């Protein structure tokens, strides 16, 4: 069975209340439930984690080697700053998909840079919470190649 690790970075624990005009009103618990439902429908397994700490995200990425077939990551603001997360993704050699609720290229200029995008096979952005099930579908297609 295909197994996918879904990682959410800083401030994503505040989904539903943080800038709803940008990120919507869906909570992280709602997003995780959507992911589990999509995974069940597709016959794959998912495991979700969120942390505001860069090192915790890196630890999960490292621990994924030999356990998960793919990683979906919404690294939040670390997308634009973390060479360490980029290096961790490169190090584990697991197909990784970048995910964002908003379209980072339509936002402030500093958000246009994505270190995750340099090592991810694809990106889904600008679809709000609906991007998560879309990302799972895209990951499954990639892993079935």
3-class DSSP state for residue 27? coil
- Nearest one of 56, 67, 51 to 4, comparing CA atoms: 67
Catalytic residue among 78, 100, 115, 132: 100
Please indicate whether residue 23 is annotated as part of the active site.
yes
For the beta carbon of residue 69, count every other beta carbon within 10 angstroms. Answer: 18
CA separation for the pair 38, 86 (Å, rounded)? 27
The pair of structure tokens assigned to 119 is 């090592």
Please indicate whether residue 115 is annotated as part of the active site.
no
Positions marked active-site: 23, 100
């Amino acid at each position: 069975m295909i197994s996918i690790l879904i990682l959410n970075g800083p401030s994503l624990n505040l989904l539903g209340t943080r800038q709803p005009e940008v990120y919507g009103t869906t909570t992280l618990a709602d997003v995780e439930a959507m992911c589990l439902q999509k995974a069940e429908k597709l016959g794959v397994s998912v495991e979700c984690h969120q942390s505001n700490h860069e090192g915790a995200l890196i630890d999960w990425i490292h621990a994924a080697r030999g356990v998960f077939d793919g990683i979906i990551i919404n690294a939040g603001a670390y997308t634009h700053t973390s060479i360490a997360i980029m290096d961790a993704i490169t190090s584990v050699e697991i197909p990784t998909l970048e995910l964002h609720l908003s379209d980072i290229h339509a936002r402030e200029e500093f958000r246009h840079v994505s270190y995750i995008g340099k090592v991810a096979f694809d990106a889904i952005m600008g679809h709000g919470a609906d991007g998560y099930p879309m990302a799972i579908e895209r990951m499954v297609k990639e892993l079935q190649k």
